[in-house]
Amino acid sequence: MKTYLKTVFRTIKYNIGRFIAMTAIVLLGICFVTGLGTLSYKIEVAMTDKMSAQNVADVVVKSKSNFGFLQNQIDDIKALDSVDEIQTLTVIDLDDEGRNTRIIIAPLDEMKVNSFEIVAGNLPQDKTQIAVLEESSVLPEFAVGDKVTVLGEEKTVSGIIFDPLYISKMAEPDMINKENLELIVYMNSKHNPLPTPFLPTTDVYIKSTADAENLFAKTYIDKMEQLATSIENKLGSDKAQALTLDSNVGYAVCKSYNEKVDVISLIFPVFFIAVTALVVLTTMTRLVEEERPQIGCYATLGFGKIKIAMKYLIFSAITCIVGSILGVVSGIFVLPVAILPAFKALLYMPPMPMDVDLTMGIIAVASMFVAVLGVTTYLVVKETKNKPADLLRPKAPKAGKKIFLEYIPFIWKKFSFKYKSTCRNIFRYVKHLLMTVISVAGSTALIFAGFGLHDISKADGHTLDITMIGDSLSIISVVIILFAICLCVLVIFNLTIMNIGERKRELATLKVLGYHDMEVSGYIFREIFIMAIMGIIIGLPLGYALVAFVFEYLEFGSINDVKWTAYLFTIVLVVAVIGIVDILLHFKNKKIDMTTSLKTVE
């Protein structure tokens, strides 16, 4: 067994470049899936913890009467079984000196429901002081001590507060004309700031008895809708309106954005995993084909098919295990941190919690293992069906035959010898051609989709709120582009290094015939480049379809907003990757030993 394991690790050692490339590709795919898959969950947990810590109002009941709620109406609300606690207050929306203003008058330091967090300064202590919200896209920035005119009187800003009902930095509409509020101020009800002898109770904040482990869960939303309906039925829909968090602008923005991230985290990872799995499977296919003599040797020594297969299963399993572990860890701790600024542009974000949702990551890891180990088993079992004597001999080269271009004389005759040879080699190995083209096409589609998402996030003609959502999505699009470029680099590097490895004998023959190093490199890199161009040609419309599909599910943007530069940048990037990889691997070609490569087992 010890000797057997040595052969496994020797295989890794002799194929270290291939092993590292496979591991890196798995890492990249799993990292992307895990990171995006857990992102919306972490946001929901963070916002739920933050809002729950301040006992956020589950339902806000607004009076439709100019005089506010009567005491018996408040008692009716308290009497409902689903109501745990209430807080009465006065909320007034008005045009104050040409500025759309909301004035909230409440016992600020004794809030039973929906308490406030002091960000700076202190809560108002008398009639001359007010508190304000933190700045947003519409609300101005204030400092403690600033003077603000409210209701015709100059007030001093005593503190900056965070209100759990205002978690978004986007515009908040008033309750009368639905126009954006330009100022929200808080006054202490202990010191009546109004010229009237009493404060009308215009709003009632309600804390429900229902469990609220996740404020964004459908079960919670449904329960609050039922409570809101029962309140309106009790008081009369003509006298009161009950609003759940689902009607709250900040909550709706957070929920909507999470849904958009969920769509992206569901669609893009499918492509990432598909491309990743295809490249890994291509690698294992070629590794098994190259090691036919070793498989034949094992069979001759009496090894069973299962034991022979275990060598390659261990090889592929190690790449999957290492790549998956590193991918899950980096996906949990690195990717959310990179994308967090996107949410901070929209929301007053608390620190990220340590809670994670590994559902997507586990599905991705399981899919990768099943695909890789399943195909590896199939490939090895298929090879072991041959006689050991046949396996010990090199596999006969595939017979050459005319390709379709040879039937078009006016094109074929204009090709030089090297291009005729290139075309024949490309179409001679159809399986390799398809795997290369599909892999590059998948990478190209992902890069194009990233640029498409970036274009729509920066498109003109949006409202301020939509522009803010777009700006935050642009960060995610940049992450997608970077991951797609890395995947493209690894795909092309892996495919190129495999082509060089399995055609050493052919390349050594060219060297013996007097070909210079650049000519030898050109011989194989030319084929890779042409196959990659085919992949780009297929990948662009595939990326177009992917972008259109994503936009449809995002309900945001249009495919018409994708600029021509997205096509140009995608092509330039993929071609640049091919060029860089070819330059790096040119030195590997120079190191090919002619004598060793031309040895035969016969």
pLDDT tens column, 379-394:
788 877 877 777 777 6
| Nearest one of 217, 256, 344 to 555, comparing CA atoms | 256
In terms of pLDDT, which residue wins out, 280 or 110?
A: 110
pLDDT tens figures, 333-361: 877 777 777 677 777 888 777 777 788 88
Indicate if the alpha-carbon torsion angle 171, 172, 176, 182 is positive or negative.
negative
Residue 538 — very low, low, confident or very high, per pLDDT cuts 50/70/90? very high
At position 371, the amino acid (one-letter code) is A
Specify the higher pLDDT residue, 205 or 485: 205
Q: How far apart are CA 102 and CA 271, in angstroms?
A: 48
pLDDT score, position 225: 92
Mean pLDDT of 576-591: 78
Categorize the per-residue pLDDT at 461 as very low, low, confident or very high, splitting at 50, 70 and 90. Answer: very low
Radius of gyration of the chain (CA): 33
What pLDDT, on a 0 to 100 scale, did the predictor assign at position 428? 76
pLDDT of residue 597: 56
- Residues with Cβ < 8 Å from 119, sequence gap 6 or more? 134, 159, 160, 161, 162
| Cα atoms in the Cβ-side hemisphere of radius 13 Å centred on 123 | 20
CA 189 to the chain's CA centroid: 46
Q: Which two tokens stand for residue 166?
A: 């205002």
Specify the residue for token string 């490249």: 279
DSSP-assigned states of every residue in 65-91: STT---HHHHHHHHHSTTEEEEEEEEE
Q: Domain limits of the chain?
A: 59-209, 429-602
Kindly give, in sequence order, each residue whose CB lies less than 8 Å from that of residue 166, ignoring residues fewer than 6 positions away.
133, 172, 184, 250, 348
Between 339-343, 384-388, 408-412, 541-545, the lowest mean confidence (pLDDT) is in 339-343
Tokens of 237: 């829909």
Q: What are the pLDDT digits (tens) for 52-82?
A: 889 999 999 998 888 888 889 989 888 888 8
Average pLDDT of the chain to the nearest whole number: 81
As a whole number of angstroms, the distance between CA 597 and CA 594 comes to 5
**With 90 as the cut, is the pLDDT of residue 205 above it?**
yes
| Other CB atoms within 10 Å distance of the CB of residue 362 | 15
d(CA 59, CA 242): 7
Q: Are 154 and 147 in contact (CB under 8 A)?
A: yes
Q: Taking each helix axis from N to C terminus, what angle separates 359-384 and 292-300, rounded to the nearest 10 degrees? A: 70
Please give the structure tokens belonging to residue 9: 């690790």
pLDDT at residue 537 in the model? 92
The SS3 of residue 199 is coil
Separation CA 190–CA 124 (nearest Å) = 10
H/E segment holding residue 460: none
Q: Is the pLDDT of residue 372 over 50?
A: yes
Mean pLDDT for the stretch of residues 563-578: 88
User: Sign of the C-alpha dihedral, residues 18, 21, 25, 26?
Assistant: positive
